Structures are given as C-alpha cells and as structure tokens.
Chain A
Amino acid sequence: MRLLTHNMLSSNIKGVTNGFPLGIVVEKVIEKPVEMNPDFLKNMFAKIEWKALVDASRSMGYAELPDQVDSSMLDSVEFLQRFHHALLELHLEEGALVCPETGRKFPVNKGIPNMLLHEDEV
C-alpha cells in the first residue's frame, strides 16, 4: 500500500467521527521505483493532507519532506522528487493501520490492508 492510499483512507467504524489519519504500525517497508509524473503530482497536491503524509512518511523511515508547504514549491524539481518518492514509491508491505479514535487495528498483509469490519462495527 502506497502512502497515497493511506492519505485517502479513513476509518469508517460506526460511531467514529474523525477516522483520519490512520496510524501506521510498520513491520516491513519496501520501495518500488516508478516514473514521476509532475502533472499528476500537481493535481494531487491540492487533495493531500500534508501533515498526515509527513507523519506517515516519517513513521516509514523517510524524513525528507518539509513540515510546511505551499503550492509555489511545486516548481522545484527536488521537492517534486521527494513528494513523488513519499507518495508513490514507499509501500507498506506488512504491518497494520490503526484507527485514531478506537485503536482498532486493520492488519496489512502482502501490501493489502484488510478493511473489513466486524458486524458490530457497521
């Protein structure tokens, strides 16, 4: 699972009002290089919750992202590369996602988070 997906996911357990961002328990992280597409990054930038991305990338062991950003930084190639690496190249292979309110763990196996809810959580 890439951090792009992590940035979109929130916990939808019944009664949880703010299920974002999900915490990350890291067991194994892998990197898969992919080609950078500046257009896509610029399109996504507006939709990304920056703080969540920074926190998530730090918990995955990548601390190159700046704390504060604005859209003017998108012109810098260096920044785009870091953004691209954090968003699309870091994969959480094994571990878990944790609901921020209830602490419920969603296990991640082979890169696939199990978001299935129990019957009493729907």
Chain B
Amino acid sequence: MASRPEVQAPPEIFYNDVEARKYTSSSRIIEIQAKLSERALELLALPDDGVPRLLLDIGCGSGLSGETLSENGHTWIGLDISPSMLDIALEREAEGDLLLSDMGQGLGLRPGVIDGAISISAVQWLCNADKSSHEPRLRLKAFFGSLYKCLARGARAVFQVYPESIAQRELILGSAMRAGFAGGVVVDFPHSSKSRKEYLVLTCGPPSVSTAVPKGKGEDGESSSEDSSGDEDNQTVSISDRHRPKKKQKLNRRGKGREWVMRKKDQMRRKGNVVPPDTKYTARKRKARF
C-alpha cells in the first residue's frame, strides 16, 4: 500500500516536477479533483444569482480545482507552496491568479474581501512539522485566524481533507472553532473505504440558520428495514453451510433470488460503487440452452 504523501516529504519537496507532471497526464487524478471541487463548490452554497464571486483556492496546485471554479464563472485567487505545481498551472493556463505562499504562515489578504474559500486535499499538510520551526498548532492557528479575517461575513470555507486519524481531525476542527468559525464535518459515502470523502464546512460569523452543516451524500439515515428476521436465519444457515464439505452442502436453496440481489446492489450504491441499473432482467435466470 502506498503510504500517505504527507509522511514522505514536505509539500514543496514532495510535489516536485515529476509528481506535478502527474497532474496533467493522469486523467484519473484530473477526474477525481474535478469531482471533489465540484462538490466543494456545491457545499459552499453561494447565492444563486449568477453574479461571479471572488473565491480563494487554498493549495490550488496545478489549478485543477480552479478550473471548476472558472467553469462556474467565478474569479479566483489560488495559492500553493509548490513552485513545480504552479508551473504546471501556468502551463494549463489557469484563469485565476496564482500566489506562491505557505498557508501555515497566514494569508496576507485584506480583511473581508473574499466571498468564499475552497481547498482540496491540502489542509491536512498543516498537521506536519516539516521544519524545526514548525509547530502544527501555531500554523493551524495562523492559517484559520488569517482566513477568518479575510472572508466576508457569512462567507463559507469548504475544505476537503484526508485526516490521518481522529486526533488529527479534532486538531483541525478545534483550530477552526477557536478562530471563530462555525460549522462541522460533512462525510460523503461514509460506508465506503474508497469513495469516503470528508469535507470541513466552515462559516464565518456567529452561528445562525445558514451555518447548519449540510448532509453528506450516500449517508444511511434510515435503518435498513429490509433485513427481516427470516432473511437473517437464512444467512446464518448459509454461513454454517459454507464450512461443510462441498458434497454435504444443502443444495435445496434455489439461488439467492431477486430480493437478495437488489439488497446487495443497494448496499454497493450506498458505498458509492458503480452499479448497473435495475431492470426486469436483474437476477433473472438464464435460459437452459444446451
């Protein structure tokens, strides 16, 4: 298993020319980044009046997330610590302005001018101490403090993060709250290990109706009522069956049936996997042709 980039090297060194190049050549990375930024923009909940806003893209990298912002008509300023990534952004002709800057040193922006901020997979880098002078707590404080200042009142900031552990998530969220933000974590596809994505949704200003944290996608609110007790009995039987020698297994059960297939497909959908649509052919038996 590939280890997390955060533990390999500091961001300005990890994202060297080779690593940055991947962000133009890999269509998979591009697609994922576009999806994440689209969702982040959705969570940003900008007023739907067609007026372009001035947004901030923190850890903009090669400008992939910025592209989504441009497509939606917004003007953005991106900042990143890796010069190689910014070079790629120039190559891709990113429409926003780019800054070479370290978010842990605080954002040098005038108060109250930014209409919203997004950040895709960047904030967790702040939890690392890559130099002897780095103190994650202070860097997080500087970052969130300066962000709070430069956001307009009522503006939102959405960070997609990959926290390493619960403690790390608490550290990030705690720093945000201490800086004065209201909000919380939105988890998309919480049941899936691959599609699970966490978004920190923060609102600038005192708590109000608008600061309520939106619901994650694919969240299983209702308890699965389909699991009737009869089904459970069947399942236990089949599991105990599995340990018997092949010949002695009971063969009287006629397949799993449509109901079982539908339940499994539902489960996979909740996990965020790609599942073929349900049709009249779903779980139908094949004709005996031979």
Query: Which residues in A have some Cβ–Cβ distance to B below 8 Å?
Result: 1-2, 4-5, 7-12, 19-20, 37, 39-40, 43-44, 47, 49, 88, 110-117, 119, 122
Contacts and interface: CB of A to CB of B under 8 A. Distances in A.
Contact of A47 (B100, B102, B108, B113): B113
Contact of A12 (B77, B87, B108, B114): B108
A39 B90 contact: no
B128 interface: no
A116 B100 contact: yes
Contacts of A7: 110
A1 B97 contact: yes
B51 A39 contact: yes
Interface of B: 50-54, 73, 75, 77, 79, 81, 86-87, 90, 97-102, 105-110, 112-114, 131, 133, 142, 146, 150
A49 B110 contact: yes
B99 A37 contact: no
A84 B146 CA distance: 28
B98 A40 contact: no
Nearest to B74: A40
Given A40-B52, A43-B52, A2 B105 contact: no
Given A111-B90, A119-B133, A9 B52 contact: no
Contact of B51 (A40, A111, A114): A40
Contact of B97 (A5, A10, A47, A116): A5
A9 B108 contact: yes
Given A39-B50, A43-B51, A8 B102 contact: no
Contact of A10 (B52, B73, B105, B110): B110
Contacts of A19: 108
A15 B102 CA distance: 18
Nearest to B12: A116
Nearest to A37: B52
Contacts of B51: 39-40, 43
Contact of A44 (B54, B99, B112): B54
A115 B108 contact: yes
Contacts of B79: 115
A12 B105 contact: yes
A110 B101 CA distance: 15
Nearest to A39: B51
